[in-house]
Each structure stands twice: as C-alpha cells, then as structure tokens.
C-alpha cells in the first residue's frame, strides 16, 4: 500500500516537474537568442559608425597633424624678441641666513629660508600656550613657503599633532594658504 502511494506521488510530481524542466530549457534558449541578436545589433552599429568616421576623414583629406618647422628667418626673428623675465626663484646664498648664526630659538630647522620670508609667515604660526608656537621646520621655494608646527592636544585628548602649512607668496604677501594634518 505504501509503495502504491509513493508511486502515485511520483507520478503526480513527474508531470509538473517535466513541464517545469521544458519551460526552463525554452527560457534559456530565448535568453541566448536575445543575446545573440543584441550582439549583432551592436556590431552593426559599430560598423555604421566606423563607415561615417572613415568617410569623414577621407572627405576632408586633412593634412597630417605634424608641427611645421619654422624657417631660419622665423627662428631668427623669434630669438630677437626678448623673452619675458622668469620669476625669481630661491634667493642667492648671500641672502640666506646661515643656520648656525642668527637663527631664532623657536624654529629648529629652516634651510634655505631668508629672514624676509620668515617674517612673512611668522604671523601664521599658531600659539598654543605661553611658550609660543613650536615650529619644527620651514622650507622655501621662492614662490611657496612650507612649515610644520607641533600643536598641543585639545583637553580631552592627550595626543598632539603636527600640522603642515603651505603658503603661496607673491610680492611679499600671502595669497594662498593650505593646511594638512
């Protein structure tokens, strides 16, 4: 009796299972066919676009995009015109304050920074207490001055942080300022 019941149950499931399997196979075939059709359409669109590009290039018959070499007369004429003066970069060694002499005690390292440049950025130093700012180093490229200062921690925290500041200097005035840290 149990075997008959199991056989009937299998017969009942066999019909819907077979229908489901046929439906899945049909669905997969449709998806593959749609993908193939889409691929062909993309290929056709690309060919049409390429035909248009090639036709446009052939119709314009443009020159190759090479730079023309100026004639000797043009080169001579260009060299006769004085070039604009290049901006002054780092000052010469006669203007740099030597590291051992004349260096303020508040800055540990200031290679290549003149006293004038130092006076430009000194108002930007942050003071966290009566001891004054703790500037670790200052560097100059002529157009930009960078310095690193160690700042004390805010009251809930006990960790200090180092802040790097970069300023752009034009005609002895700070025109841009960036801080990191």
What per-residue confidence (pLDDT) applies to 181? 75
> Which DSSP symbol is given to 111?
T
pLDDT top residue among 32 and 98: 32
Residue-wise pLDDT for 98-137, tens only, equals 443 444 455 667 777 888 888 888 888 876 666 666 888 8
What per-residue confidence (pLDDT) applies to 55? 80
Give the residue-averaged pLDDT of 1-13: 68
Residue-wise pLDDT for 55-73, tens only, equals 877 776 655 555 667 788 8
Residue-wise pLDDT for 144-167, tens only, equals 899 888 887 777 777 778 889 999
**Calpha distance 177→40 (Å, rounded):** 57
Q: Kindly list the domain boundaries of the chain, sorted by start residue.
A: 1-64, 107-180
**Calpha distance 148→181 (Å, rounded):** 10
Could you give the dihedral angle defined by the CA atoms of residues 4, 5, 6 and 11, in that order, rounded to the nearest 10 degrees?
Answer: 90
pLDDT top residue among 81 and 52: 52
**Calpha distance 165→52 (Å, rounded):** 54
**Calpha distance 164→34 (Å, rounded):** 59
- On the question of pLDDT at 94 being above 60, the answer is no
What per-residue confidence (pLDDT) applies to 99? 40
Average of per-residue pLDDT values in the chain: 77
Q: Length of the chain, please?
A: 181
Residue 118's closest CA among 177, 174, 181, 178?
A: 174
What per-residue confidence (pLDDT) applies to 114? 84
Give the residue-averaged pLDDT of 50-59: 80
């Amino acid at each position: 009796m149990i075997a008959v019941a199991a056989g009937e149950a299998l017969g009942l499931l066999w019909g819907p299972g077979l229908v489901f399997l046929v439906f899945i196979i049909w669905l997969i075939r449709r998806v593959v066919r749609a993908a193939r059709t889409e691929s062909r359409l993309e290929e056709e669109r690309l060919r049409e676009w390429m035909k248009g590009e090639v036709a446009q290039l052939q119709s314009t018959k443009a020159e190759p995009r090479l730079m023309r070499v100026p004639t000797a007369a043009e080169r001579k004429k260009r060299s006769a015109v004085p070039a604009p003066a290049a901006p002054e970069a780092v000052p010469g060694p006669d203007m740099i304050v030597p590291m051992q002499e004349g260096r303020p005690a508040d800055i540990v390292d200031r290679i290549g920074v003149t006293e004038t440049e130092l006076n430009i950025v000194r108002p930007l130093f942050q003071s966290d207490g009566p001891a004054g700012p703790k500037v670790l180093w200052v560097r100059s490229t002529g157009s930009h001055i960078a310095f690193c200062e160690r700042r004390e921690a805010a009251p809930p925290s006990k960790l200090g942080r180092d802040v790097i500041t970069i300023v752009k200097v034009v005609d002895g005035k700070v025109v841009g300022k960036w801080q990191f840290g």
